[in-house]
Amino acid sequence: HYISISRTERLAREIMQDMGGHHIVALCVLKGGYKFFADLLDYIKALNRNSDKSIPMTVDFIRLKSYCNDQSTGDIKVIGGDDLSTLTGKNVLIVEDIIDTGKTMKTLLALLKGYNPKMVKVVSLLVKRTPRSVGYRPDYVGFEVPDKFVVGYALDYNEYFRDLNHICVISETGKEKYKA
């Protein structure tokens, strides 16, 4: 299905209701999050413009690397992004494309806590229903998806398919054809 514009707009409204009282730092988790991030920010900016008080908003980008291929040991390395101490005292909105097991996000949240942000909320376009989940749920969810490998709308399979405007499940044939 195409990403419902109204869904992203609704997420933007919820986020502004919860976080809109204070400087927001929107933290995009790369690479998969960039399209959702851009769309979501457009809506937040529009809401900001049409409200009586405009909230200062800054953006930053981080990449997360799990130390051990798929089987994340729960150790992650944050690559890029400003010095995380800039998050102290701010409302931080982490924007993610998909939450799979939730392990990485839990680790990132624990890491950010050390910098004393005022508030941290997580929005994820997709949440995968998987038995491997550690039980983590983001604050805002676009859609739930089955435990399959999804691509499109900036989510990739070995860097392919990020350019699709919709999200779809990649078939075994596709996996074979585009395997690394």
Nearest to 24 by CA among 56, 60, 61, 62: 56
Nearest to 29 by CA among 101, 114, 104: 104
Task: Kindly name the residue from 42, 75, 97, 100 that is annotated as catalytic.
Answer: 100
Q: Is 176 exposed, middle or buried (0-12, 13-18, 19+ CB in 10 A)?
A: exposed
100 is catalytic: yes
- Kindly state the tokens that stand for 92: 């931080």
Q: Which residue has the tokens 């405009």?
A: 54
* Helix 34-49 × helix 5-19 angle, to 10°: 60
Q: Which amino acid is at 99?
A: I
Q: Spell out the alpha helix ranges (H) of the chain.
A: 5-19, 34-49, 103-113, 172-177
C-beta separation of 146 from 126 below 8 A:
no
Residues assigned a catalytic role:
100
